[in-house]
């Protein structure tokens, strides 16, 4: 994302700053999964979508790089091979940075490192990734919170390439503390939906 040169982290937005994160951006049309209801229908929320941009994004907005979607069953094979405790992800979002004492959220992309907790509980059941989430009672660094939904969950492969393994979906308490969940991109429900837009692993 192109950042307005007049802005720096911690700087409040003003009329003098016209670009991102105070303004600007790229216009597109969101397309939700046809079975997504907007409700938390655990475990299969169908919480995945695509934004079709009106114009191609400029190369400098993405450094010419786009994440690739993980192939079907990628996470199952990864967890079986490495064990749950050794699998780390990078989570990306634009949501809240603070919950207490007040809600605070900048229109800025943040990222954090989390660890895989579970792929097969009643809350995941093969559809979701459960990962560690440690924002420190809602006032600390790390993890995901409200507003991060839709951001990618990335895994770095052995050859250093990042693949998209999930989409940030939900947390279970008001402090964004404990575990968080992402809807998997490496399952047939997601891959079939994405294929309709020409997106393939």
Indicate the domain borders of the chain: 67-195
- Eight-state DSSP code of residue 63: T
CA 11 centroid distance within chain: 25
User: CA 102 from chain center: how many Å?
Assistant: 23
Q: What is the spatial distance between Cα 164 and Cα 97, in angstroms, rounded to a whole number?
A: 23
pLDDT digits (tens, 9 = 90+) for 119-141: 988 889 999 998 887 644 444 44
pLDDT at 138: 42
DSSP 177: -
Report, as ranges of residue numbers, the positions in the chain whose pLDDT lies below 70: 1-15, 17-24, 63-64, 82-85, 93-110, 134-150, 173-178
Q: What span, in angstroms and rounded, lies between the C-alpha atoms of 35 and 104?
A: 32
Helix (H, G, I), strand (E, B) or coil at 124: coil
The length of the chain in residues reads: 201
| pLDDT at residue number 123 | 87
CATH tag, 67-195: 2.40.10.10
pLDDT number for residue 1: 41
Residue 58: the pLDDT is 77
pLDDT tens, 68-98? 899 999 999 888 876 656 788 888 766 554 5
């Amino acid at each position: 994302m192109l950042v307005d040169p007049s802005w720096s982290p911690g700087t409040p937005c003003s009329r003098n700053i016209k670009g991102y994160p105070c303004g600007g951006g790229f216009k597109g049309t969101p397309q939700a999964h046809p079975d997504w209801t907007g409700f938390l229908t655990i475990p299969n929320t169908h919480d995945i979508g695509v934004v079709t941009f009106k114009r191609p994004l400029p190369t400098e907005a993405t450094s010419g790089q786009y994440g690739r979607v993980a192939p079907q069953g990628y996470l199952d094979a990864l967890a079986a091979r490495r064990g749950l405790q050794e699998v780390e992800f990078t989570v990306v979002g634009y949501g809240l940075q603070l919950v207490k004492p007040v809600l605070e959220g900048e229109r800025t992309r943040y990222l954090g490192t989390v660890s895989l907790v579970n792929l097969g509980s009643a809350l995941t059941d093969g559809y979701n990734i459960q990962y560690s989430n440690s924002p420190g009672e809602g006032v600390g660094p790390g993890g995901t919170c409200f507003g991060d939904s839709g951001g990618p969950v990335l895994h770095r492969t052995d050859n250093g390439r990042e693949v998209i393994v999930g989409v940030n979906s939900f947390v279970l308490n008001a402090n964004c503390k404990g575990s968080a969940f992402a809807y998997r991109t490496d399952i047939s429900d997601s891959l079939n939906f994405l294929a309709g837009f020409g997106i393939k692993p």
